Amino acid sequence: MTHSFQSVITGTGSYIPPKKVSNSDFLDRTFLNADGSPFDKSNKEIIQKFEEITGIKERRYADDDILASDMGGEAAKKALEDADLDPEELDYIIVAHNFGDLRADNPATDMVPSLASRVKQHLEINNPGCVAYDLPFGCPGWLQGIIQSNYYLQSGDASSCLVIGTETLSRICDPNDRDSMIYADGAGATVLESRNTNEDIGILSHAARTDAKDQAYFLRMEPPFDPDSGDAPLYMHMNGRKLYQYALTNVPDLVKSSLDKAGLDFEDVHKVLIHQANAKMDEAILKRLGKLYGKDNVPDDLMPMTISWLGNTSVATVPTLLDLILRGQMDGHQISSGDSIVLSSVGAGMNINSVVYKTP
């Protein structure tokens, strides 16, 4: 199928905080069960099991004086520079996040003004025709922004869009919850522009779904596990087992749906860039996707991973991974002209999406 306007990625950027937090930094934590009772295992055992399951060895935290909008603005500058695009020419700025600008000393959600407006100010854009808005959609938020941008660009309503994913998850997780070791901070940004061409390039297809009847609260905001925490804020908690099963059951089918829409087979896919919260879960998802195509084995280099050193940065995970690959900073991984890649994410809501993209 051919289109007059195709949406192509012309620039990427990311902000990876300099502060490294290793698993050993959690040895002095007091981990509790949801009912406030202590674990019958030592922290060393808990952390060792955590690393075996998730693949996470370290993660990055933003400095105390850095907000999500600051990180998003810095990632955006790099993406615009990479695209060689004047910020004044942007038609849309879409910022995906879930908690706004959480201050280190007061983790209350702050979304007024919108983070997109803050980023627009950060970029010193005067053009009022550059529309800036936020998109809360769980971890798949950045990719959903890409999907929305594709409609703007293909319709002729816009010629360029900036989509950012930024989050400071370290400031909203319960310090007594062992799942807090999963979360990290960071930002990724992508510039999309329209190309008037008859070639099948850029975004070829997408698929998305929301399951909320029984699954809406697999990730949720709740009081802290510590019953003596007083007036502590609500923290993010998750039902990891149910979330794992949900993702394993539904992500492969949705990715296949996006490939079917693009008219591609599994063997046509050069890279799968998937949201990363658990390395074993992602490996199981990819294996199950392969089985949908009758493949018992998938190439080792098909799914590049950053989770071991960046942790789970929510909406920033996939755009940061894409930026690192395109900048040649992921050993053994590259994306070349003509490659077809899959971008996919799953997260709170519960939401899943997948985009098939062919590099010009």
Q: Which two tokens stand for residue 67?
A: 């907000």
Bridge partners (DSSP) of residue 222 are 235
The type of residue at 178 is R
Query: CATH number, domain at 83?
Result: 3.40.47.10
Q: Assess contact for 12 and 322: CB atoms under 8 A.
A: yes
Q: How many residues belong to the chain?
A: 360
User: According to the model, what pLDDT value does residue 115 have?
Assistant: 98
pLDDT exceeds 90 at position 4 = no
Residue that finishes a domain, picked among 130, 165, 196: 196
User: According to the model, what pLDDT value does residue 314 have?
Assistant: 97
CA-CA distance, 112 to 121, in Å (whole number)? 14
What pLDDT, in 10s, does the model give residues 27-64? Answer: 999 999 999 999 989 999 999 999 999 999 999 999 99
Average pLDDT value for residue range 88-96:
98
Please report which confidence band the pLDDT of residue 136 belongs to, taking 50, 70 and 90 as the band edges. Answer: very high
pTM of the model: 0.95
Buried b (16+ CB within 10 A) or exposed e, 246-283: bbbebbbebbbbbbeebebebeebbbbbbbbbbbebbe
- Tell whether 169 and 292 lie within a shared domain: no
CA-CA distance, 184 to 17, in Å (whole number)? 9
Query: If you ran DSSP here, which 8-state letter would residue 110 be given?
Result: B
Please report which confidence band the pLDDT of residue 135 belongs to, taking 50, 70 and 90 as the band edges. Answer: very high
Please report which confidence band the pLDDT of residue 198 belongs to, taking 50, 70 and 90 as the band edges. Answer: confident
Q: Which two tokens stand for residue 204?
A: 């070829």
Q: Assess contact for 119 and 93: CB atoms under 8 A.
A: yes
Please report which confidence band the pLDDT of residue 325 belongs to, taking 50, 70 and 90 as the band edges. Answer: very high
Average pLDDT value for residue range 67-85:
98
Residue that finishes a domain, picked among 167, 196, 225: 196
Lowest-pLDDT range of 139-153, 220-234, 290-304, 320-334: 220-234
Rounded to the nearest 5 degrees, what angle is found at the Cα of 323, between the Cα atoms of 322 and 328? 100
Q: Assess contact for 319 and 174: CB atoms under 8 A.
A: no
How many other C-beta atoms lie within 10 A of the C-beta of residue 160? 23
Q: Which residues contact 43 (CB under 8 A, 6 or more apart)?
A: 26, 27, 28, 29, 31
Q: Which two tokens stand for residue 223?
A: 């009081």
CA-CA distance, 317 to 276, in Å (whole number)? 7
Average pLDDT value for residue range 216-245:
89
- Tell whether 225 and 248 lie within a shared domain: yes
H helices present in the chain, as ranges: 43-54, 68-83, 115-122, 141-155, 240-262, 279-292, 307-310, 317-326
- Tell whether 61 and 165 lie within a shared domain: yes
Q: Assess contact for 191 and 320: CB atoms under 8 A.
A: no
Please report which confidence band the pLDDT of residue 267 belongs to, taking 50, 70 and 90 as the band edges. Answer: very high
Q: Which two tokens stand for residue 182?
A: 């999963």
CA-CA distance, 145 to 139, in Å (whole number)? 11
User: According to the model, what pLDDT value does residue 269 have?
Assistant: 97
User: According to the model, what pLDDT value does residue 232 have?
Assistant: 73
- Tell whether 177 and 258 lie within a shared domain: no
* pLDDT > 90 fraction of the chain, expressed in percent and rounded: 90
- Tell whether 175 and 217 lie within a shared domain: no
- Tell whether 244 and 132 lie within a shared domain: no
Please report which confidence band the pLDDT of residue 91 belongs to, taking 50, 70 and 90 as the band edges. Answer: very high
Residue that finishes a domain, picked among 145, 165, 196: 196
**CA-closest candidate to residue 134, choices 122, 123, 148:** 148
Chain centre distance of CA 69: 15
Please report which confidence band the pLDDT of residue 229 belongs to, taking 50, 70 and 90 as the band edges. Answer: confident
Average pLDDT value for residue range 139-148:
98
CA-CA distance, 1 to 140, in Å (whole number)? 27
Please report which confidence band the pLDDT of residue 231 belongs to, taking 50, 70 and 90 as the band edges. Answer: confident
Average pLDDT value for residue range 142-151:
98
Average pLDDT value for residue range 117-143:
97
Q: Which residues contact 5 (CB under 8 A, 6 or more apart)?
A: 153, 154, 155, 156, 194, 195, 196
Q: Which residues contact 246 (CB under 8 A, 6 or more apart)?
A: 211, 215, 218, 346, 350
- Tell whether 159 and 265 lie within a shared domain: no
Query: If you ran DSSP here, which 8-state letter would residue 232 be given?
Result: P
- Tell whether 142 and 220 lie within a shared domain: no
Please report which confidence band the pLDDT of residue 1 belongs to, taking 50, 70 and 90 as the band edges. Answer: very low
Q: Which two tokens stand for residue 169?
A: 């998850």
The tally of domains found in the chain comes to 2
Q: Assess contact for 14 and 323: CB atoms under 8 A.
A: yes
pLDDT exceeds 80 at position 99 = yes
Please report which confidence band the pLDDT of residue 2 belongs to, taking 50, 70 and 90 as the band edges. Answer: very low
CA-CA distance, 121 to 139, in Å (whole number)? 25
User: According to the model, what pLDDT value does residue 107 have?
Assistant: 80
CA-CA distance, 311 to 305, in Å (whole number)? 10
What pLDDT, in 10s, does the model give residues 273-312? Answer: 999 999 999 999 999 999 999 998 899 899 999 999 999 9
Per the structure, the complete domain to which residue 337 belongs is given by 202-358
- Tell whether 136 and 51 lie within a shared domain: yes
- Tell whether 180 and 270 lie within a shared domain: no
Mean pLDDT, the chain, whole residue set: 95
